[in-house]
């Protein structure tokens, strides 16, 4: 049997004024509820409220002694959706021809200019690692710049450009190629660059390639462990002793790595280890196999691949003119304009190259997303490059790539890229006006994709 226990309601524990007011309210309710006419009730019952009795309000039922709850603070939300592209360079030269591992200073400047124009964030190694730890957020997408080996040209060629743009970068040094002699970086040069945005990374002692690593592994467990310790741990000790900073990141020489290297990596205190696998980095990418795009000096498309996000390449606001000045993209009279929304699904695409110098017509290369490589027309007099779509565009976002060589030049200029959007709904409405129920059904199917 459930015992019925009467408990005083919360409202009965209030002040006398509150209780009196409530009692009067109940009395009025009882009087109104009887069978007497309302005017008679008014004549017989007149109970004015005491002056000191305040009117009831929501606040009358609040405990005056209750502590106010503190305002909730903003909770940090870690963005794990960020996509990061890590670029890997090696040597630089203002006079030598470009090679796989050699990038001309002019080309490097162009690429940094493209990054600056695009608005894509270039973040430091420290911020990248902090994001991987879940401590901060970085912009989406982001780029990290790295340089391998420790050539003196990092200081003489790349560093001034990076400093000009304000871009942080990381240099991975192997200690057998360090000290300031010949073409190597000196400790003082490294210290100066660290003071101006560079992060120090380790790249082993002797830069052993895969054949050397496998040969050492064949010597037995003890010999292999000693080899790894020299290459990964002791070399970090050397850099710390010579420069005063211990590296916490490591780049595998030649990109070769194996799980049996991780013990030595942990002993050295590395937080992240970098490969040369050309792919974007996401939050779930393992820290011992961080991807990188090696940018080849003689293959500009390697930079393009590295800096394409969501299928859309970097845009640029300007490019170099023949006299060395900058040409704004608006002065190239691009059609459709960069970022324009069009309704024509077979638009004319064109660019005015009259300011870029003497273009070699045979070198022109145009690519359009959804079409691939196309054959544009070049007007030698006006320097206008044009292409009329041979079929209707199906994509919504369309990118155009245009590259060329100048006459008497053996290398391609950095490509011109722009993009536009096709308003398919407006285009289809214009192309197929609705006149009956069947036409309306066909149009609806095409708009939702089932008609393709």
pLDDT of res. 117 = 83
pLDDT for residue 9: 44
Hey, how many other C-beta atoms are within 10 angstroms of the C-beta on 262?
A: 15
User: Does residue 438 lie in a domain region?
Assistant: no
Per DSSP (E only), the strands in 4-101 are 84-89, 91-93
Q: Give the span between the Cα atoms of 351 and 335, in whole angstroms.
A: 7
Q: What is the pLDDT of residue 67?
A: 56
Q: Are residues 26 and 145 in the same domain?
A: no
User: Helices 187-194 and 235-243, interaxial angle, to 10°?
Assistant: 80
What is the count of structural domains for the chain? 3
Domain co-membership, 94 together with 188 = yes
Domain that holds residue 28: 10-56
Q: Are 130 and 164 members of one domain? A: yes
Preceding peptide of 141 cis, ω within 30°: yes
**28 and 133 housed in the same domain:** no
Q: What is the CA radius of gyration of the chain?
A: 36
Residue 190: inside a domain = yes
Helix spans in 292-352 (H) = 301-306
Map tokens 């082993």 to a residue. 204
Residues 103 and 126 in one domain: yes
**436 in a domain, yes or no?**
no
pLDDT at 327: 80
DSSP 3-state helix, strand, coil percentages of the chain (rounded to 5)? 35, 20, 45
158 with 275, same domain? Answer: yes
236 is written with which tokens? 């970090």
Same domain, 193 and 214: yes
Q: In terms of domains, do 120 and 22 share one?
A: no
> CA–CA separation, 204 vs 198, rounded Å?
18
On whether both 346 and 288 belong to a single domain, the answer is no
∠ Cα 221 226 230 (to 5°): 145
Question: CATH no. for residue 366?
Answer: 2.60.40.1220
Task: State residue 249's pLDDT score.
Answer: 99
Collapsing DSSP states into helix, strand and coil, what is residue 148? strand
Residues 19 and 139 both lie in one domain: no
Length of the chain: 452
Is 392 a member of any domain?
Answer: yes
The answer to whether position 62 is within a domain reads no
| Chain centre distance of CA 239 | 31
Look at residue 39 and tell me if it is in a domain. yes
CATH number of the domain encompassing residue 118: 3.20.20.370
List per-residue pLDDT tens for the chain, 452 residues long.
444 444 444 444 444 444 444 444 434 444 444 444 444 434 444 444 444 444 444 444 445 555 555 555 678 999 999 999 999 999 999 999 999 999 999 999 989 988 998 889 999 999 999 999 999 999 999 999 999 999 999 999 999 999 999 999 999 999 999 999 999 999 999 999 999 999 999 999 999 999 999 999 999 999 999 999 999 999 999 999 999 999 999 999 999 999 999 999 999 999 999 999 999 999 999 999 999 999 999 988 899 889 988 766 675 666 766 666 778 877 889 999 988 999 998 999 999 999 888 999 999 999 998 888 899 999 999 999 999 998 988 888 888 889 898 998 877 777 788 889 998 776 566 665 555 566 556 655 655 554 44
Residues 187 and 227 in one domain: yes
| 23 burial level (CB within 10 Å; 0-12, 13-18, 19+) | exposed
Is residue 446 in a domain? no
441, part of any domain: no
Bridge partners (DSSP) of residue 309 are 312
């Amino acid at each position: 049997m459930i015992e019925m226990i009467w408990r005083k309601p919360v409202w009965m524990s209030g002040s006398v004024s509150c209780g009196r007011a409530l009692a009067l309210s109940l009395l009025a309710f009882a009087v109104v509820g009887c069978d007497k006419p309302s005017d008679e009730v008014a004549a017989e019952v007149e109970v004015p409220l005491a002056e000191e009795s305040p009117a009831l309000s929501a606040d009358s039922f609040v405990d005056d002694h209750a502590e106010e709850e503190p305002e909730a603070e903003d909770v940090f939300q870690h963005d794990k959706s960020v996509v990061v592209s890590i670029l890997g360079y090696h040597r630089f030269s203002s006079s030598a021809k470009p090679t796989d591992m050699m990038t001309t200073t002019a080309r490097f400047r162009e690429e940094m200019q493209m990054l600056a124009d695009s608005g894509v964030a270039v973040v430091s190694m420290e911020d990248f690692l902090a994001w991987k730890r879940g401590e901060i957020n970085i912009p989406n997408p982001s780029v990290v710049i790295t340089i391998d080996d420790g050539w003196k040209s990092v200081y003489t060629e790349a560093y001034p450009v990076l400093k000009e743009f304000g871009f942080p970068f990381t240099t991975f040094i192997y200690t057998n190629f360090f000290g300031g002699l010949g073409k190597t970086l000196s400790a003082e040069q490294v210290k100066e660059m660290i003071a101006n945005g560079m992060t120090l990374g380790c790249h082993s002692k002797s830069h052993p390639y895969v054949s050397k690593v496998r040969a050492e592994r064949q010597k037995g467990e003890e010999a292999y462990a000693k080899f790894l310790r020299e290459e990964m741990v002791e070399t970090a000790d050397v850099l710390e002793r010579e420069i005063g900073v211990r590296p916490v990141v490591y780049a595998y020489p030649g990109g070769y790595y194996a799980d049996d290297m991780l013990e030595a990596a942990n002993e050295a205190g590395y937080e992240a280890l970098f490969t040369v696998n050309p792919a974007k980095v996401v939050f779930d990418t393992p820290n011992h196999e961080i991807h990188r795009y090696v940018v080849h000096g003689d293959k500009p498309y390697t930079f393009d691949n590295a800096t394409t996000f969501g299928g859309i390449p970097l845009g640029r606001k300007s490019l170099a003119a023949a006299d060395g000045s900058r040409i704004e993209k608006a002065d190239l009279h691009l059609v459709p304009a960069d970022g324009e929304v069009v309704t024509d699904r077979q638009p004319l695409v064109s660019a005015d190259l009259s300011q870029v110098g003497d273009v070699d017509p045979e070198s022109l290369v145009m690519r359009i997303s959804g079409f691939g490589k196309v054959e544009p027309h070049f007007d030698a007099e006006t320097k206008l490059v044009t292409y009329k779509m041979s079929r209707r565009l199906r994509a919504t976002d369309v990118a155009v790539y245009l590259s060329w060589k100048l006459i008497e030049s053996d290398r391609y200029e950095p490509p011109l890229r722009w993009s536009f959007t096709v308003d398919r709904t407006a285009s289809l409405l214009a192309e197929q006006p609705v006149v009956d129920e069947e036409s309306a059904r066909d149009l609806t199917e095409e708009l939702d994709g089932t008609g393709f």
